[in-house]
Structure 1
Amino acid sequence: MSSRETRPSHRVGLNVRTALVAGVMVCALIVILALPRAGEWSASPAPVAAGWQALAPLFSGRINVLVVTQRSRGRTIYAGVDGGVYKSTDGGETWIPCLEGLSNRMVRALALDPDRPDILYAGTRGGRVYKSEDGGVHWRDISQGLGAEDIVSLLVDPENPDIIHVATPQHLYTTRNGGGAWELAPFVRGEEITQAILDPANPALLYVATRQGKLYYSTDRGAHWAAPSTVAAGLSWVSTSPVQGGTLYAIADGHVWKGEDLGRAWAYNDNYLDKALAQCLAIHPRDASHVLVGTTMGLYRSTDARRTWTPSNQGLDAAHLGINALAYDSIDAETVYLGSGNVVYRSADGGATWKRIGQIADRLGGNVLALVPHPQDAQRMYASAGGGGLFQTVDGGKSWTLLEGLPSAWVTAVGLSPQEPALLYAGTLQGVPYRSQDGGVTWEPNTTRLSGVAITALVVDPELPSDVYLGTWGGGAYISQNWTRGWSRVGSGASYVRGLVLDTRAWRRNLYVLAEDGVYRGEYDSPNQLELTWYLGTVTTLVQSAGSEMKLLAAGDRGADLVEGAAERPEVILVQQGGKPEAPPIHLLAQSPAAPDTLYAAVEGQGVLRSQDLGATWAPVGGGLADRRVTALSIHPASQALYAGTDQGLYQLRGE
């Protein structure tokens, strides 16, 4: 059979649960549309048999907000964390993940319906708002009409719970039908909103704090706004007393202020400790003079309206003196809950002493979508988790840091250049590519001439870092040679792209596009001359062989002899599990640069297998991953360590 200009007539459907992209040269391994259904969120990496070591979970479980509600069966505590929503019905001792339908798991705000305790709302990083009507068991997205800014506050009107206010750094939104439709509130522009609150005694009274130090208020639920008062620059927190109307406490630049008369008059005194910066604050529900402030160096308590402060750290571990969240109990006003990191403490005496009672730890590993090692630093890697965004480790996976500047919670492809490691590219499920020129601190999008469908593959030319290739699901492949000028479509075929391989070893570059209906190749001197022609039948994965000789490793899903065109491609090495057509197909491949005959393969239901004879025979390696869906395989070029991303977190192969 000769090479053809048109693709074959047969089409083999993509297994959208397991399909994966191999972007060689940058090891961009991505699950293509293998997005978990609601309720299939991942657990923290569980211990596995000798060989595979669980790395730290991508989601930290950091508690950002705590809310307590009274129910007929007692109290329920909800925690919004970096990793989702969790609830406890036993006073905080055990925590149940509430993740079904919560497609963005970076929860920054929670709000309860005061009349219907099973109804609650969650606001996330990236501008998503979710509603649950069954106590967090199921969630649905009610964000249509909102922007993509982080949610900083969620407020439910206690007199009319269908009225909900949402604050983002630049906007204030209101819905009057429980999230069915949102309208932009007539609020001041040009200032950064840091928090919004309702007066619990008068819910028509709405306060908005800004980073510039201004406090605005409205007495008609946001329809009109009074002239603001000035607190201090860096205003980040404001709370109002539920029993003493007009009494406010605020945090500005890490210090505590007290306001009277709707915030028209402010006084400052936080002599608790000059070096401790306040992060959160809670007012006693029955006594406005009792205040708790959580700082970077512990908890402080005032019983005289913040004139004097007393350290209240008895019972807190030294590792948990950074306080993220505080909440008074809805039944017993002397019971207080505290969040530090992912650990929960409880006080039964108004905050004087504390007892550690629980920890957010379950299902934090993350469903890994992409895993990319740094080309030079053996301790640095990038990994993305469904619903979380893009994370970075600088200690070999002992800890992970979210790259906050990238707004998408679904990063499906990542690429970087060996020549310029600080230059990063990311593709998202929303079809938006991003570029960072400072190692992931800041990001800029560019969608010029893109189709707006999910990005499934991303490859950076290792010799020309400005040349970037994208594969999309339904829109074909694209190239950008100049970020500011946008993207150009590559060829006209191969619409549903599962992977990209760029070979730069020949004097001409060869781009291989792994599509739903086969492999296409473009050979060119210049990307502007690139056209795609059909090259090979349907395979499940395609990678570039190590070494100087131009070889491709391909795994067929129906046996090597059934891959159309394979006999005419001597440069293609077809591998299968044991060479048996009836064996489960390989959906991921990785080759050892140090030992080119050694291959690693991910096989559904069998974990990771290893071949030391270029695919002739296979054996399980490490053991323990058979019950996990392996979504990424990568050999770190600087350390030669093998890493596996799964639907339950990240693992490293040890001692093999």
Structure 2
Amino acid sequence: MFPQKAKSLFFYLFLVLNFGCKNMQPTAMDPMEMMPTGPDVPRDGMWRSIGPYGIDVTALAVCPSQPNVVMTATNMGEIYKSEDSGQSWRRTANVSIIVHTLAIHPTNPMIAYAGQDFTGVIKTEDGGVTWTTINNGLQFDPFVWSLLIDPANPDVVFAGSFRSLGQGGVYKTTNGGQSWQNSNTGMPDGSVLSMAFHPDSSNVIYAGTFQGTGTIYKSTDSGATWTAMNMGIVGNNIFEIVVDPLQPNTLYAATQTGGVFVSSNGGVNWQQVNTGLGRLDVRALVIDPLNPATLYASGAAGIFKTTNGGQNWQASNNSLTNSVIVKLAIDPSQPDRVYAGAVGTSNVGGRGSFLGGIFVSDNGGNSWQFSSVGLASRDVRAIAIDPQDPFLIYAGTFGRGLFQSTDGGLTWNSAVESINLGLDNPQVLDIEIDPDDNRSLVVATFAGGIYKTDDAGTNWRNVRRGGRFQEIVRDPVSTNILYATAFAEGVLKSTDNGDTWTQTTFSIQRTFPMAIDPVNPSTIYVGVNFPEPDGGVYKSTDGGATWDKKSTGITNSLIRALAVDPQNPNVLFAGSLRTSSVPPGIFKTTDGGENWQKVQTSFEFEPFVILIHPMNSNEIYSSNLEGILKSPDGGVSWQLINDGLISTAVLAMAFDPTNPNIVYAGTRGDAVFRVGFQDTFWEDRSDKEIFQVLRLLNLPKTDEMLDYTRVQEIFKEVAEKPPAQIVPHLLAAGEEWRNGRQQEETLLWWF
């Protein structure tokens, strides 16, 4: 049978030509657009984020003066900003350490403060792009968990810190963070989780503490002194305090073990108001500024709403796909718009795993929408696209398991839809889809071995337990044969579609990349990422039974990437990493590995991935931490093509199997990006030329009339010719096929 990958190659061109004959238009057309295509992708060379989206939210703030501006942060120190009320987000900075709280200047949206562990307070004056540490006066590696900006005098800022190595409590600055003074007199508890101003006087401040008695304190002199206001609320960690803007003596507090408390006398006395509240661990609380009897509370049980000041609560979780809501924020100008920040759970192997991110309600919590486009804090190490259905995409992440899209990347399913049940190791490094049954997948994981599913991820089983597996490749002819590389075990082989695995004779450690000859699939290449004498490229011509080292000309033996030219399998590219004494590089062989020559010499580039365009052998892609390189001339020259990428650390790449001018990239920290390029060949073709090609290249479906070998030869010849000669060559090939037909009236057409 014709090799699967090569077959899909000719089938792609064949459909282009064949379908066009039935509805020929008088104007020139792009055959790419006539075939059964995947997602509609702009062909402008610009990378665009497609997800999967979701982050672990640790901070959330709405800009008081421009409520369409919203900021959020993650446990990894990534700060994101939305300028369209949460419809889309962009990462403005990565400050590396968890951000617990954000506060935006009341009149200048370019100024904001963030509270962190260890570093204390950081400040931006350019809308979040750059951040500066402002810790002068903050003591002993402060953990800042709450921030409060004086609306009357924004240079006055209060920071609530967690007691770690030294003194915690409240710190105050009067000069926008240039210097801080401890402001704790009367507050012995030391760790402050929450703060709030009296709406009529910023001299009056409330602070909620953590540890010890878990007390609420009140200051009437702008933080100089504090008095405990804990009657009825002692012994709870106070996560949030909100004040009724119309009746300032009414306060509400969210606590860890006691639910919601209310005070109607400025904090002197407190009582619980939890009727209907799902759980008593309440992490976030916001109040409607125009109708303050309406409040929203959230925690591990989702979001609850009251419209009568807490007397009764009702669940407000419609369309909320994650119930672990740790942050809430409300639009001060349109209080029916509420933002909820969720934390993703880590139980990837079971049915209890959910995506973190931002949810938005525009109708007062009646329904919610997952609004996290751009919040793509995911390390994607593997991408696989169904060869028969380009809308079916899988992304393997390092730490969050597998994500699946059935609509070309518009939406993604994860463990919340139970596509990871049994995938106990969430660190996915490679994905292989069965070309004959797209419900069957095999994945390689970092430390859990190899897993397989026969039902598109509903259930997984561990078919090779343990070990750090790097790559899985499939024999394109005998598709039940698979090979896998392992960090400590070399090369393994399966002859039953991944159900069982055996060790081959290749057992050198640190075996990373693998490539298979699409025409003679018993020929396999592997790369060893290790110094000499073990490092380099190895080749087997008997399906892994024996191996020979093929590294002549490779000056750096730390091999990280391999690729075989699908048009000419004697051509391979290998990518090596740098050593302390030898630079990295990309090497090329034209004789099946016997001799190699370095082709990327103009600058140093450590390739993680190498891809060869399946229809144009001269078009090569490579990626690493600096972005993506593209060569239009078989590796002679290279250029960076990073336009649109947020993270330039690209760890995985893949072609759309039905349209290789569409390329996918998996990034570190920003999930999957996609780009479309123009098909350069058809740009200059005349209407007459296109019509002739479409008319002549009608192939019958009957296998007896279709010489697969000749088809392969024709398309190889086409790929090697300059554009000006391609059309005449195809015309000659079409004439050859046309003259060879017999009993044409009995033939079944491919489509």
TM-score norm. by structure 1 comes to 0.50
The structure in which a higher percent of residues are helix is 2
Q: TM-score with structure 2 length normalisation?
A: 0.44
User: Which has more strand, going by share of residues?
Assistant: 1
Higher RCO by CA contacts (8 Å cutoff, separation 6 or greater): 1
Larger Rg belongs to? 2
